[in-house]
Each structure stands twice: as C-alpha cells, then as structure tokens.
A and B are shown apart, each in its own frame.
Chain A
Amino acid sequence: MLGRFRHGYVAPAVLLVAGLLYAPFLWTAYLSFTRYDGLEPAQWIGGHNFAKLLEDPALLTSIRNTLIWVAGTMVLPVGLGLLVAVLSYDIRGGAWFRVPFLLPYALSGAGLAMVWSPILSHDGIANRLLGVDTAFLQEEPVNTVAMLLVWTWQQLGVNMLLFVVGLQSIPKAPIEAARLDGAGSWALFRFVIWPLMRPLTAVVVGLALVASLKTFDIVWVLTQGGPGRNSETLAVTMYKETFVASDYGYGSAVAVMLTVVTGLASYLYLKRQVAR
C-alpha cells in the first residue's frame, strides 16, 4: 500500500539528520582545505592546512596532552570507579558510601572548573593547605595532571555507578560455584567477575575514551590552554584556531583530525572487544 513513496515517512528525520549532522560535517571537511577567516569567501588551498598541522609544535603539545588525558582517564576515573564499585558492592551501607562520589557529577564541566579555579590558582587553597608553592595550573605537565584529578573527582562517581550496575547483573551461580571451589577474593574477581563484566566495561571504557579525546570545557575555563599553549588539548586547539585566531580553515583541519582519531580509536577498541 505504501508503494514507492514509503520512504517519504522517514524524510523529515532524514532531512534533520542530513541538515544538522551530515551537512556541517561535510562543510567542516571542505573548510579544512581552504583559507577562511569567517568573512571573506573561503579560498581553496589544498592540503596546506594538513601540512601545517604536521609541523606545528603547538599541535604536538596538544596531542601529548590529549594522550595524557586519555591514559589518565583510563587509570583514574575508570580504574578508581571500578575499585570503589567493587569495594562498596555487597557490603552493609555500601549505597551510602557511594553517594558522595556521585554528587560532583551534578556539576557541568564549566561549573566544575569554576569551583576548582580558586583551589588550584597560585594563591589558592591547595597551596595553603599543603604548605607548598606549586604552580598547579601553570607548570607543564603538572597543570594537565591537576586538571585530570579534578576531572576524576567528577567522573569517578558515574563510572562507579555503571560498574555497580554491572556487578548487580552478574548471575549469583558462577560466583557461588567459584567460592565452593575455594576461590579467594582476588581469584573470584580476576577469573569470574571481571570476565562477566566485559560487555559493560567495553561501554564504560568506550565512553571514557571518546570523552577524554574531546576534553575541552574544564581546560578552557581553568587555563584556556595556557600559559602559552602548554595545556591545550586537541579540542582546545580546534576552538582557539577557529574562533580566537579566526583561522577557520586550520581549525577545521584540527577538527577533521580529531574526528578521525576519535572515530578510529573507538572503532579499533570496540572491534577488539566485540571480537572477544
């Protein structure tokens, strides 16, 4: 009955997706091959922006910092989230123990940075409490690590919550069987719980991977990528080149590179997880 016009039903959705997702992406990809300041017509310059990427020392710093964010996110918010989930699971009052870890998640990235700015600034609370004189937001890579710790403070809770859900969904039978076979706590976790949680871990790690690759707001509010450009991440570089320097072409080239890296990392990671 629908005949050849049946596709018409999906047209509004397709139009929206094409207009709001595909078109901007293709436009950005096109701009990455141009010189464009947001005013004069874009001028085609071929691969010049990508060649410039390769020899830009600021971009190398940006890539290094982004890698610190990715590695740090896996160890801290994800790793500690798992640890807190496992330690607080199946104990009396465990839910109450977990609540404080969840509260910071209510803050937005920018709000989070505003809260931590007076703590980490040179004359801030952290230096006074610790009795040290450390430039937490100025020295590299201390500033990236400091911001990563702030990020951990916020993100640990949600990762913990996801892991708790994973733990709760594990069937009791294999755990009891392992206990009867004399498995200790570590062996139980390593050989029974961890493998059973793999599907959920894949999701948590995948989300954390993408979130860390596009780290922007916390860095922008706390250091604006500085001093100099020493705490920039790829997303901050993309923003600065596009909107601060008005070099839309080069900013778009960074955006394309970031998209390719994020897409590739997610694809390779998920492919490996699915293969298992």
Chain B
Amino acid sequence: MFRSRVVTLGVAALVLTACGGGGGEQPQKKTELTLYNDKGAWTKYFDEMGALSKQSIGLGMKPTGYTDSAQYQAFIKASFRTDVKPDLFTWQTGGMLEEIVRQKQVAETTDIWQQAIQAGDLSKDLQPYYTIGGKQYCVPMNVAYWGMFYNKKIFDKYGLEAPETWDDLIKVADTLKKNNVKAFYHTSVLFSFVWFEQLLAGSDPDLYDRLSTGQAKYTDPGVVQVMEKWKSLIDAGYFINPGDKTDPGDVLKNGKAAMVSFGTWFNTSMTQRDLKAGEDYDFFVIPNVNPALPKTSMIFESGPLCSLTKGADPAANKKYLQWWTTAEAQEKWATSRGDVSANPKVSIADKALGTVTKDAGSGKYRLVNRYFEATPPPVLTAALDGFGKFVTEPGSYKEVLDTIQKAADEYWSTHQ
C-alpha cells in the first residue's frame, strides 16, 4: 500500500514538474537570439541578418516566422504568461504597442533611441510612433511609404505618364478602361482598407486623424462622401474583381491591373519576380483627391522590433536592437529586400523609392499613420470585414459604416 502511494505521488510530482515553469531562473548569456515575426515570407532575409550580426557583434539570430498574424499575436500574448518567450519579436505600432507596453511587457529603448538619433541612425520624425508616456519602446524593424506601383510597359504602351493630380489619375484610369485594361487592384481580405485610407487621407487628413482617435464618427458626412467616392470608382469599372486570389505581385506583373497601391515593402515582391524598377514597373505618390490641401498626404507605416522586459538575456537583446539601427545592419536589411530603411544614412538603390524617402524626410508630405496601426484592434476588425463587404457590394456602404461605428462606439466608451 505504501509503495502504491509513493508511486502515485511520484507520478503526480512528475506531472506537476512538467506542467510547472522554471521559476527563479538566472539570466542566461545567449550567443543566438530567437526573433519571432509574422513575416514568414521574409525568413530568407532574416537569416541573412542573423549571419551578419553573428559576424559583426558575435550574436546570432534565428527567425521563427508566422504567416497568420492572428495566430502570431495570440502566441506572443500567451508568451507573456509562460516561459516560452521570444528574445526579439515584431509587433505593430499604435494601439497594439500601447496595449503591451501598458502591461509592462516591453523593454524600454529610450537610450538606444537617444544614441541612434545623435549618431544620425534614426530620424526624430519616427520617434513619436515609438513613444508611450514619454519613453521609447522597440526600434523600427522597417518603415514604408505608401504609393502606387504601376506596370511601366502598360503605361508606355498607351502613352501614359505617372499622374501628378487626382484628375490626371482618373484620366489614366479612363484611358486604360478604353483599352480594356483594369486600372486598379483591390481585395476583399485583409488589405480591404487601402482605398478607404487613401481617399480619406487625400480628402481630409484631419478627419482621418480624428476618426483614429474616436473624435469623429464613421457616419460623419466627410466619411460618407469618401465611401461614395470609392463607390463611384468601383462603379466606373476601374477595379479588378475583389475576389481575385492572384497574388498582387503577379497581378501587376501580368498586367491584370495596371496599378497596385501598397507600401514600399511591395518592392520586395517585385524583386522576387525579377522585375526591374524603371523598366518593368515604377512607383508614384498618389495625388490628393482634394487639390486644395497644402501637402500631399502620404500613408506611412513603421513596424517595430521589440524585446521583453523579462527576456532570458536582456543585455543581449538590447545589444541586438542597438545593432539593428546601425547603418551596417540597415544597409543589408534594406538592399536585400529592395526596400527603404529607417536609417537616413542608407542609400536606396531604387531611384523612385530613394526620392520618396528623401522627400518624406524633408517634410514635403503630410505623413499619415497607416489605418492598420492607427485604428484600435476591435474597430479595425469590424472595419476590415466591413470594407470587404463593401468592395463586393458597393451599395452597402451606409450599412457598413453603421456597423463599424457600432464597434467604434463600444471601444471608445471604455477607452477615452
């Protein structure tokens, strides 16, 4: 009887030990960090960065890429309560970063920012996106400016030029339509918000900002007008079918649509398809719908690279984030993907993107935070669903705005 009791207790102890955490662990000295990210398609580029960092600062990095952002976010949130913690991880600025900073999960990076700004490795313009309660958290994993990628061969074929005004853009779309070419790409999943943010930012950027902070409503006349504008463009037949599942990179390459609006990171898709900038495709800044605005509104995004306050080796994490901002790291990170960089010292190989980055840095544009980051997550979820419905049934725009506003009312009633 005694033996059976001992065996039972033993088994139970083993099970509990297996379930329990390794509390009281000492900080480790790491030579390789794990970098969790929701950019599974960029694993190759992260691997290259890992090899370079090992060579430069003796600290390797191994990426673990997710392709489903919902799964990724659930994993990161769960890791805050378990011992399976990433050393480094990518996240989103805006409400999502605020959420995890408020929980004291993210390591502060104020000194990294101060040194990087002093050394000219980071721009002061970027700082507000990473500042919460006067302190900085994370460093920029990437930055991107949004505009229009266009198929240069199609433009050349019909004698078209990159437009400088909204009217010019519509003339281009009309010419393409006459020649049975769809002008624009749009989709009913995930990136369904792109045309909403572009049209609103180009019509009334102040309203865009107020909407992001709950000071304006989706049912306000200015927002309704934007949806009506968007509907008129769809009704005019400028867009491809939103249910087309072709990858947007292939849409542009194959000429299924002559123009695709995305962030500068879309250049990576072009590079992966062996397309040459200036020959096969090019990029222009989308003109404002409202020509009276003093500056052209440009959608801007920056994705953070973060570390945890309770990471296994906080010193190594900090060392890595510091290195990530340097010109050496950023040169590699930007050139390998054919993208722009958060480090102003990095020269951009692509001429059009280089000009945009320079102009954006010199204050030529009014930078508008991307809708994805600017909108609180519960409102964003309702909006993505709503815009997905709208592009399929454009007549439903009022119902869609009502639904999004309902989610916004619920959110802002507890978050003002």
Contacts and interface: CB of A to CB of B under 8 A. Distances in A.
A and B together in one complex = yes
Interface of A: 1-3, 5-6, 8-9, 11-12, 15-16, 19, 37-40, 58, 117-118, 121-124, 135, 137-139, 224, 226-230, 239-240, 242-247
Nearest to B400: A228
Interface in B1-48: 1, 4-5, 7-8, 11-12, 15, 19
A9 B8 contact: yes
A138 B243 CA distance: 7
Given A37-B99, A121-B243, A228 B12 contact: no
A228 B392 contact: yes
Contacts, number: 111
Contact of B245 (A16, A58, A118, A246): A118
Interface string B58-100: 0000000000001101100110100000000000000000011
Given A40-B103, A122-B241, 20 more contacts: A2-B1, A3-B1, A8-B4, A8-B8, A38-B77, A118-B245, A123-B241, A123-B245, A124-B245, A138-B188, A138-B243, A224-B189, A227-B388, A227-B392, A227-B393, A228-B388, A242-B74, A245-B381, A245-B382, A246-B73
A227 B12 contact: no
A247 B377 CA distance: 10
Interface of B: 1, 4-5, 7-8, 11-12, 15, 19, 70-71, 73-74, 77-78, 80, 99-100, 102-103, 105, 188-189, 241-246, 256, 377-378, 381-382, 385-386, 388-393, 396, 400
B385 A246 contact: no
A154 B391 CA distance: 31
A117 B244 CA distance: 10
Question: Most B CB atoms within 10 A — which of A15, A227, A239, A240?
Answer: A227
Contact of B244 (A16, A40, A122): A122
A138 B392 contact: yes
Given A11-B12, A122-B243, A138-B392, A226 B381 contact: no
12 contacts: A8-B5, A12-B11, A15-B15, A16-B15, A19-B19, A118-B245, A226-B389, A227-B393, A228-B389, A228-B396, A230-B389, A243-B74
B244 A228 contact: no
A213 to B, nearest CB: 22
A244 B11 contact: no
Contact of A226 (B5, B12, B189, B246): B189
9 closest A-B pairs by CB: A228-B389, A8-B8, A121-B245, A227-B392, A245-B381, A227-B188, A122-B243, A38-B77, A122-B241
Given A8-B5, A16-B15, A39-B77, A227 B242 contact: yes
Contacts of A247: 378
B245 A117 contact: yes
Nearest to A224: B189
A24 B69 CA distance: 23
Contact of B241 (A1, A135, A246): A135
A227 B189 CA distance: 7
Question: Most B CB atoms within 10 A — which of A9, A138, A230, A239?
Answer: A138
